[in-house]
Structure 1
Amino acid sequence: MTSGARSDPQDEPTSDGHITPGAAELARLLHDLRQSQIEWPAEQLRDDLQRAGTYHPSPVQALELEAYGLLQGIGREPASALQRLRRARELQQLAMTLKAPLAEAAAWRVMHTLESLLQMFPASLHSAGMAASLYLQAGEEDMAQLMTVQRNSVLFHAEMYEELGASCRQLLEEGTPLPPAFRHRILGGAGAAGAAFSLGIRAPDDEAFERHLEDSIRLHREALALAEAHGLDALASVSLTNMAIVEATRGHAALSRALMEEVRSRPEVDPMRPGWKEWQRYCAVLVRAQQDEDGWQALMDTARDYMGQGLNRVAVRDACLYAVKRLGRRCGRMDDALWASERLNELQQASYRKLAHTLSDTVDAVLERPHLMHEREALAQRGSDLENSLAQRNAELSDTLARLQAEIAIRQATEVALQKAHDELEAQVRQRSAQLEQAMRTLMQHEKQLALSRMVAGMAHEMNTPLDNARMGASLIGERARQLRLRLAGQTLRRSELDDLLVQLDGGSDLIDRGLARVAQLVQRFKTLGLSDEPQERSEMDLCALIRQSASSWRQALLEAGVDLRLDLPGRCVYRGYPQDIQQVLQQLLENSLLHGFRDGRQGTIWIDLSVEGLEETTLAAPGAQARGEPPAVPTVQICWRDDGVGIAGEHLPRVLEPFYTTQMGRTGVGLGLTSVHKLVVERMSGELTLQSQPGQGTVVRMRLPMPFQEG
C-alpha cells in the first residue's frame, strides 16, 4: 500500500470505485518521492517529478509535487534559498487549509532542508519535528522515523559532532526497521562515521586522533557491508571513498590508493551528489602531499580553492585546513600550518557572526507577515460586519420608534448593548497593548543577547589566533627539545644539526613572545570596553596645550603615513576634567583615521578644531535667568576631528560604535577604537558624540563636552 493511498484525499478512487492506471502510477511516484532523500535530488528523482506532472495530479497532489520541486537546482542557485523558503511556507499554509497532512508534511520537510542550507538550525530542527508529527497523524510511521533520521543532517551542518554521534548510536541501538539507504546514512559520512572523522581531525592529541579515526573506519565498513548486501552500488562507492579519505588522513597512502582504485572499477556515482568531486580531489592531493613537495603545494592550492565555498563543501574545506595544520606542524612547515590555523579561526569567527546575524535577521517576520496581514484583514472584515449590524439595528430602532411609542425603553436597551460592546472593545485594546509591551520587552532582551553574542564572538576570534600561535610555538620547542635530548643521549648530534635546532627553538620562542604580546595588547584594548571603577579626580588643564602636545607626539606616525595635521585652536582654553581620557580619545581617533581612513597608502589631511559654545550667552543671560528662577545654561567645548580619507560606507555607519565591529577583522584592528571613544565621551564626560561620513568624502567626528571651564 502506498503512503498516499492511506491518507490524502487525492488518492481516493474515481466515481466508479476504481483507480485508473495513471492515478496508480502517480500514487507510486509520490510514495517513492516521500521515501527518497529529497535534499539531494538525483537524476532519477528529477525524472520522477517530471513524470508525475504528466498524470494530471489533483490540486493537493500538485501542491506536494511543487514542494519537492523547490529543491531542484538549489545546489547551483543557493542565493534563491530564502525566496524558495517563503514559497514553501505558503505551500504549508495552503496544505493546512486544505487539511492535507501529507502535502503539509512535504512542505515542512522542504523547509527543513532549506533552513539547514541557510544555517537556521533551530528552525530546521523544528520543521523536521513538524513533518514527523504530520506523518504520524497520517499513519506514516516509517516516514516519521525517517524525518527523525534526517534531523541528523542539521547536527552535522551545525558541527555538533558529539551530539550527532550520540543520536546515530541511539537510532542504531533501537533497531527500528529503516530503508537500507537511510540506515546507510546513519552509519556513513553524514552520520556516525562522519561525526567520528570530524572529531578525530579536531582532536587535541594523537591518541584521540587515532581513536576517532579507527571508529570512523569501523563504521564505514559496516555501511559498505550494508550497501553491498542490498545492491546499493552508488552508496558502496561512497563508503569506499570515505574509507580512502580516512586512511589517507591517518597516513596510509598505499591503502588509500588501493581503495580509490576499487571505486574507479565500480559504477560511476552521480556527479551532482553534494561534495562528491571535492572529496575525491581532496583524497588524491592528501596522498600526494605526504610524498613530495609538489604534492604539498597541490594540497595548499586545494585548501585555498575551498575557501568561500557553499554549505555542502564546508566539511571538506575544514578537513583540508586541519590536514594542512597537522601535517605542517609534523613536517616543520610552520608557515603553512600557521596559515591554516588562522583560516580556521577566521572561519569559526565568520560562523559565529553568521549565526548571530541569522538570529537577529527578520526572516521569521517576513515569513509571518502574510499570515498577520490575513488576520488583520479578517479583523477589519469583522469590524465592518459589526458596523453593518449596528447600522441595521439603528434602522430597525428608527422604524420601531416611528411605529411604536416605546422610544425610551428601546433607546435604553440599545445604549446598554452599545456600552457593553464598547467595554469589550476597550478590554481587547488593553489586552493587545499588554501583548505588544511584552513583545517589545522580548525584542529588547533579544537584542541584548545578540550584542553579547557579537562581543563574545569578537573576543574569541581575536584571542584564539595569538593563543594558538603561542601554543604552536610551545609545541615546536617541546618537540625540538625532545629531539635534542635523543641526539645527545645517542651522541649523534652534529654541529650543523645543533645550529638548526637552536634556530628552530629561537623561532618557537619568538612565536610564543609575539602571541603573548598580542594577547596582552588585546587585554588592554578589551579593558577600554568598560569604564574603570577606580575613582579619578578632575584636574584643571589647558585643552589647547594638551592637543598641541599630543600632535607633537604624532609627528613621526603622520610623517610615515604621508598625512598632514592642521590645528585651528584658540590661544588658551582652561578646562576641568580628565586629561588622560582626553588624550586616549585623541589617540583612538588618530589610529582610526590612519588605519581606516588612509589605508593602502592613501595620503591626505587631518583637521582638529576647538571652539567654545554658550560662554557669552551664559554671561549675558545669567542675571535675567536667575531673576526668573531658571538655571543658567551650561557652556560646552566642541572638538571637531575631520579627515579627507576614504570615508565609511552607508551600510557600516550605523554600527561602527558597536564593540568588535570592524571591516578589517584580523588585519588592522579589533573594532574597539570608536567604541572606546563613545564610552569615554558619553559615559565618562557626560558629553555628546556625533559621526558623519560618506564614501570618498572623509569622516567628521564632533564631541561636545558640557563641563565647567575658563577661556583666556
Structure 2
Amino acid sequence: MTLRPALSAPPSLQSSPVPEPVAPAGSHPADAQADPPWLQALDELILEERQDEALDSLHQWLARPELTPDLVLRLQARELRLQLLNGCSPAAAEQAYALLESAQSLGSARVSADVLCSMALVQSATRLTAAAMQAVGQADALYESIGDTRSRQLARLLLARVLMAAEMFVELIRQFEPLLGGPDVGDDRPVQDGEMPPRLRCALLLSVGAAYANANTELSGSAEGIDSRQAIPIYRRALALAELIGSPPTRVRCRFSLANLMIWTGQLDEAAQLLREVEQLAAQQPLSLLNRAHLRQNQALLAWKSGRAREALLMFREVRAMCEQGGLLFLLGRALLRLAECAEDCGDLAQALEARQAQVQLLGANLRAQQQNFGQGMLSLVQHARVAAQNELLQRQGNSLEQALAQRNGELNETLSRLRAEMSVRRAAEAALTEAHAQLELKVAQRTRELELAMRRLMEHEKQAALSYLVAGVAHELNTPLGNALLATSSAQAGLQEFGQAFEANRLRRQDVQGLRQNLQANLDIVSHGLERATVLLRNFKALALQDSSDDIEWMDAAQVAHNTLQAFTGALREAGVTVDLSGLQPLRLRGHAAALSQVLAQLIENALLHAFQGWSGERRLSLHGRALPEGLELRVADSGHGIAREHQAHVFDPFFSTRMGQGGSGLGLYLAQRLVVQRLGGELALNSALGRGAEFIIRLPS
C-alpha cells in the first residue's frame, strides 16, 4: 500500500513548504540489506516510548568505531525522535535539515527515509502538518522502492502520530481502521509477508482507539457518527495483544488508556480493577515518572467520579507536583484542568481559580514556545531552500561558465534562468510565511475563545457557589430559633400529656394546674421568641432580593430621611443610654430612593445598638454628619462604642458574618446595607474603625 495518494491535506495546509524528494532507490549498498536485529530492537523501544532504555542503547552503538556512516545517520535520526518526546526545541528543525543534507550527500534511500520520518515529527511539532504528511509520504515511497515492509509499517504509525497531533481524528480513523482487520496474534507465531508485527499492531490499535476517544471532545469539536465508546473494544483488543506480547510498558499503557475511558463512560469498577493491575505490574517493574503520574491522574479521576472529590483533590495536587518537578508539561495541562474542575465541585473556588490561572499561564507559555518553534522551523525551511537554490545556482553557473567559452548567448540564458528561479523561491517563501501567519492568528483566536469560555464557566460556578453559601447561611440561622421552638413545643406536649394522665386518674391537684400553666407560658415564650427571630431573618433575607426599578425615585432631603429614621429608634436609643448628635447634619437634596436610604440608615443604627454599645462602659454617642460634594453627597454615621478589630473589617460586609452569632446578630444587616447603597442607590459604603475608638460608616451617593 502506498501512502502518498491518501495524504491529502486540507486546502489551508496544502501550500505549506516541504523538503524536496531525495535519494533514488538502489543508489547505496545499505539499501539492499535488512535492518540488523539490534536496530529493530531499538525501534521497538522507541515505539513503546521507553526513552531512557532507548537512549542508553543508542549511545552505546554510537560509541562503536566500526559503525558505518549510514548507520550513524540513522541512529542520529532516531536520537532526534527521542528528544522530541520531551518537546520540540528551536534547534530541532535545524538539526533535522542538517541530517537531511547529510543523507542526501550519502545517497541512501533508506537513510533519507529515516531522516524524513524524523523531519516529519519536527514539522508536526511546529504545526506544519501538511509538510509533515508529505515528508511521511516521501519516506513511504523510498521504503517501498527498496522493499522495506517493516519500515513502511513504522511510517504508517508515524503518520497516525502526525494526524493525532493535528487533531485530525476522523482522518486517522478513516486511514487506519481498515488496517485493523484480521486476528490479533502474539510473538509466538512468525509474521507472514505484509502482516503487521504484534507490537506495531498494538500501537496502531492504541492510536485508533485514542482517535475515537478524542473525536468528540470539547476542544476538538463534534464528529458526526463517532462515539467515544467505540474505542472500548479497540482498547480491549490492544490489551489482549499486549498480554500476548508480554511487554510491561505496553501492558501498562493499554490499561491506562482503557481505564481512563472507562472512568469517563461511568464503568468505574472495571477502571478500578485495571488500575489495581497497573499497581501490581509496578510492583514487578518500577514505573517511569510519566507512568507514575498517569497512574495517579487516573486514580484521582476514579476517586472524583466515585464521589470522593476531597480525596481526588489531594491526588490531583500530587499529579501537579509530579508534573512540575519532572517537567511533564503536556500532562501538567490536563492535571491543572482536572484540579480546577474537582476544586469547583468541592466548593474550593480559591484553589480552582489558582489552578485556572496556572492553566492559562501554561497555555500562554506553550503558545509562545509553539510560536518560537514555528518561526524557527520556517526560518530553517527558508534557509534550507536558499542553500539548495544556491547549490543549484553554483552548479548552473559552473556549467554556464564552461559553455561561455564556446557560446556567449548560452551564458546569458542561464543567468536569466537563475534569476527567475531565485524569484520563484522567494515568492514561495513569502507565500509560506503569509500562510503560516494566518494559521497562527486563527490558532490564537481559537485559544482566546476557549479561554473566554472557561472564564464564563468559572463565573457561573462562582455565582452558584455564592447562592449556595447564602442559602446555607440562612438555613443555619433559621435552625436555632426553629429548633428552640420545636423543643419548647415538645416540652409543652409532654406537660399536657402528664396533665391529661393525672386528670384521667382523678389525681389532679391545684399545683399541677399551676405547673402546667407555668410550663405552657415558658414554652410559649420560647416559641414566640424563636418565631419572631425567624421572621426577622426571613425579612432580612427577602430584602436581599433587590430589583432595579425607578418607580420610587424622587427628590428627597437626605437629612430629613435621617431624622425620620431616628424617630423609629428613639425608645431603643433612650433605653440604651445613647446620646444622638445631629449638629453636623445639614439639608441635602438629591434625587433617589428615599426608602432604600432610610433602610440603610436603620441597619447602621441597629448595628450600633447591637454591637457598639453592648457591654460598653464609656461614652455612648451616635453622630450623624452630612455634607454636599461636587459629584453628590456624603453621610457619616459614627458611634463611640467598642469599634471593629482590624482582622474583622475586611469581612463586615460579607453575608452571615457576625461576632455575635446566636446572640441576636444574623450577619445580614451590614451586607444588606452595602447592597442597598451599591445596587439601589448607585453609591458606595465604606468603614473607618479601630478597637476602642468606635466605628464610622461613610455613605457616598451620586447626585
TM-score (norm: length of structure 2): 0.51
How far apart are residue 153 of structure 1 and its match?
1.8
Give the superposition deviation at 1:73.
5.7
- The counterpart of 2:245, out of the listed 230, 234, 249, is 230
- C-alpha displacement of 1:464: 2.9
Work out whether residues 88 and 111 of structure 1, in 8 Å CA contact, stay in contact via their aligned partners in 2: yes
Change (3 A) 1:250 1:480: farther
Alignment of 1:281-680 (within 5 A): 281-288=296-303, 290-291=307-308, 293=310, 295-300=312-317, 302-303=319-320, 306=323, 313-314=329-330, 316-337=331-352, 340=355, 355=370, 358-359=373-374, 361-367=375-381, 369=383, 372-373=386-387, 375-376=389-390, 379-380=393-394, 383=397, 417-418=407-408, 420-421=409-410, 423-424=412-413, 427-428=416-417, 431-432=420-421, 434-435=423-424, 438-439=427-428, 442=431, 445-446=434-435, 449=438, 452-453=441-442, 456-457=445-446, 460=449, 463-469=452-458, 472=461
CA 1:258–1:433 in structure 2 vs 1: closer, same or farther (change >3 Å)?
Answer: closer
Read off the aligned partner of 1:234 and give its amino acid letter.
Answer: P
Q: 1:63 aligns with which of 56, 63, 73?
A: 73
Pairwise CA distance, 1:109: 1.9
Cα separation, partners in 2 of 1:267 and 1:450, compared to 1, 3 Å: closer
| Cα contact 2:202–2:241 (8 A) shared by 1 | yes
Q: What is the one-letter code of the residue matched to 1:237?
A: V
Aligned pair in 2 of structure 1 residues 44, 450: CA closer, same or farther (>3 Å)? closer
Which residue in the other structure is 2:673 paired with?
A: none
- DSSP-derived class of the 1:37 partner: helix
* Identical amino acids, percent of aligned pairs: 18
Letter in 2 for 1:68: R
Matching of residues 36-55 of structure 1 within 5 Å: 37=46, 40-42=49-51, 45-46=54-55, 48-49=57-58, 50-51=60-61, 54=64
1:157 to 129, 152, 165: 165
2:564 maps to which residue?
none
Task: Please give the per-residue CA displacement for 1:568-601, whole angstroms capped at 9, x wherever unaligned.
Answer: xxxxxxxxxxxxxxxxxxxxxxxxxxxxxxxxxx
* Equivalent-residue separation in structure 2 for 1:445 and 1:226 (angstroms): 47
Q: Secondary structure at the match of 1:456?
A: helix
Matched with 2:496 is: none
What is the match of residue 178 of structure 1? Answer: 196
- Is the partner of 2:147 in helix, strand or coil? coil
Asked whether the equivalents of residues 187 and 219 of structure 1 are also in contact (C-alpha less than 8 Å), the reply is yes
SS of the residue 2:66 aligns to: coil
Structure 1 unaligned blocks of 5 or more: 14-23, 394-413, 484-492, 510-712
**1:194 is aligned to 2:183:** no
Match of 1:261 in 2: 276
Partners of 1:31 and 1:341 lie apart in 2 by: 44
CA gap 1:302/1:233 in 2 versus in 1, 3 angstroms: closer
Aligned residues of 2:143 and 2:149 also touching (Cα < 8 A):
yes
Is the CA contact 1:197–1:246 (under 8 Å) kept in the aligned structure 2? yes
Structure 2 CA distance, aligned partners of 1:421 and 1:32? 55
- Asked if the contact 2:31/2:146 (under 8 Å) is kept, the reply is no
Q: 1:336 & 1:299 partners in 2: Cα distance?
A: 12
Checking the alignment, whether the CA contact within 8 Å between 2:205 and 2:237 is kept in structure 1 is yes
Rate the CA distance shift 1:423–1:342 in 2: closer, same or farther, 3 A: same
Aligned to 2:511: none
Q: Does 1:280 align with 2:290?
A: no
Output the CA distance in 1 between the equivalents of 2:347 and 2:228.
23
Task: Assess if the C-alpha contact under 8 Å between 1:112 and 1:127 holds in 2.
Answer: yes
Q: Name the SS for the 1:177 alignment partner.
A: coil
Kept in 2, the 8 Å contact 1:329–1:337? The answer is yes
Alpha-carbon spacing, 1:471–1:309, altered in 2? closer, same or farther (3 Å): farther
Q: Is the 8 A contact 2:389 2:422 kept in 1?
A: no
Is contact 1:201–1:322 with CA below 8 Å preserved after alignment?
no
Query: Cα distance, 1:185 vs. partner?
Result: 1.7
Taking structure 1 as reference, are residues 229 and 355 closer, same or farther at Cα in structure 2, changes over 3 Å only?
A: same
Shift of 1:279: 0.1
Partner of 1:30: 39
Matched residue count: 444
CA contact under 8 A between 1:88 and 1:107: conserved in structure 2?
Answer: yes
Q: Are 1:110 and 2:118 counterparts?
A: yes
Q: Equivalent residue for 1:138?
A: 146
The root-mean-square deviation of aligned C-alpha atoms, in Å, is 5.1
Whole-Å separation in 2 of the counterparts to 1:158 and 1:274:
26
The letter of the residue matching 2:235 is H
Distance of aligned partners of 1:185 and 1:230 in 2 relative to their CA distance in 1, 3 Å threshold: same
Check conservation: 2:74, 2:114, Cα contact below 8 A: yes
2:308 partner SS: coil
Question: Retained in 2: the 8 A contact 1:106–1:131?
Answer: yes
Letter of the 1:223 counterpart: A
In the TM superposition, what is the alpha-carbon distance from 1:9 to its structure 2 partner? 0.9
Shift of residue 101 of structure 1? Answer: 1.2
The structure 2 residue matched to 1:9, chosen from 24, 29, 39, is 29
> Alpha carbons of 1:43 and 1:179: their partners in 2 closer, same or farther (altered >3 Å)?
farther
- Which structure has more relative contact order (CA 8 Å, sep 6+)? It is 2
**How far apart, in 2, do the equivalents of 1:226 and 1:128 lie?**
27
CA-to-aligned-CA distance 1:370-411 (integer Å, 9 cap, x gap)? 563465356346546755775xx5xxxxxxxxxxxxxxxxxx
8 Å CA contact 2:309, 2:345 repeated in 1? no
Displacement, 1:106? 1.4
Aligned to 2:14: none
1:655 alignment counterpart:
none
Distance 1:472 1:248 in 2: 23
Shift in CA distance, 155/294, structure 1 to aligned 2, threshold 3 Å: same
Q: Deviations over 1:542-573 (max 9, x none)?
A: xxxxxxxxxxxxxxxxxxxxxxxxxxxxxxxx
| Rounded Cα–Cα distance in structure 1 between residues aligned with 2:468 and 2:174 | 35
Larger Rg: 2
SS in 2 for 1:265: helix
Q: 1:39 to 1:101 in 2, by over 3 A?
A: farther
Partner of 2:108: 100
Once residues 466 and 170 of structure 2 are traced to their aligned partners in structure 1, the CA distance between those partners, rounded to angstroms, is 32
- 1:139 to partner: Cα distance: 0.8
Aligned in 2, Cα 1:338/1:6: closer, same or farther, shift over 3 Å?
Answer: same
1:165 and 1:341, CA in 2 relative to 1: closer, same or farther beyond 3 A?
Answer: farther
Q: Which residue identity is paired with 1:184? A: C
| Offset of residue 148 of structure 1 | 1.5
TM score, norm. by length of structure 1: 0.50
Letter in 2 for 1:193: G
Letter aligned with residue 106 of structure 2: L
Q: C-alpha displacement at 1:82, in angstroms?
A: 4.2
The aligned counterpart of 2:678 is none
Q: How far does residue 225 in structure 1 lie from its aligned partner after superposition?
A: 1.1
Cα shift at 1:247? 4.3
